[in-house]
Amino acid sequence: MSGPVAVVTGAGQGIGLATARRLSGAGYRTVLVGRDRAKLDEAAAEIGGATLCVEADLTVPAQVEGLFDTVEATWGWAEVLVANAGTSLAAPITQTTDAQWQQMIDSNLTAPFRCIRRALPPMLEARRGRIVVIASVVAKRGERLVSAYTASKHGVLGLVRAVADEVARHGVTANAVCPGYVDTPMTDATVAAIADRMGTSTDEARAVLERRQPIHRLVRPDEVAAAVLSCVQNGAINGQGINVDGGAVQS
């Protein structure tokens, strides 16, 4: 097996799976990372090609280290890191607990930070590398009922911008892709929560999210993956938060 190595976290479904599929098609040996080994194995079978499945909880520091140790022992250093794994939470600010707040920060900000910190040294030594974090359009705006999630995504966009400025002269780039509402299992959970809160059907709740985007539909995971691949293939894109939201946030 040959070709550069790409690590994709949260690769068992949704945006992560679509991104891994794109990278594999572009010739990368693709490392699929997630908490559910069965989903990873299914994803690997679907993608084909050179894939390596690593089960890991990235909120646990030792498991971040173990992930990259495994990749380097198996295939060598990772030229690409796509930090996609994360979670969401909807609750009024007055009902958001400390534990829920910490969960958002741990999953959506601290875990990508640890992955970036661990992935960077060999990239810097080789003077080439690509880091892409999946953020959200709420990294650029406030939105009701998702204060903790919004704060974590604002934080990770700031992290990406700081890293981009620090490493660009060493041949490494860092970018964020900022989707709107994407047709993924995580959005399904959001739809269910909206339906429960509003006392409506899931179809009606999904329509609410669709209408929030000018294209009046959910974004497809492969549309987000295409933006990720452009960041990987174009070394002049650096320090950006690229919106993939049908025009909801124009920046």
Of residues 134, 210, 146, 221, the one with CA closest to residue 174: 134
Strand, coil or helix: 145: coil
Of residues 115, 114, 103, 189, the one with CA closest to residue 152: 103
Active-site hit among 68, 75, 101, 149? 149
CA dihedral 180, 184, 187, 191 (to 10 degrees): 120
Is residue 149 part of the annotated active site? The answer reads: yes
The rounded distance, in Å, linking the Cα atoms of 187 and 136 is: 12
The rounded distance, in Å, linking the Cα atoms of 111 and 230 is: 23
The rounded distance, in Å, linking the Cα atoms of 208 and 176 is: 26
The rounded distance, in Å, linking the Cα atoms of 124 and 131 is: 12
Q: Output Rg (C-alpha) for the chain, integer angstroms.
A: 17
CB burial readout 208-236, b (16+ within 10 A) else e: ebeebbeeeebbbbebbbebbbebbeeee
Name the strand (E) or helix (H) holding 222. helix 221-233
Residues that are catalytic: 149
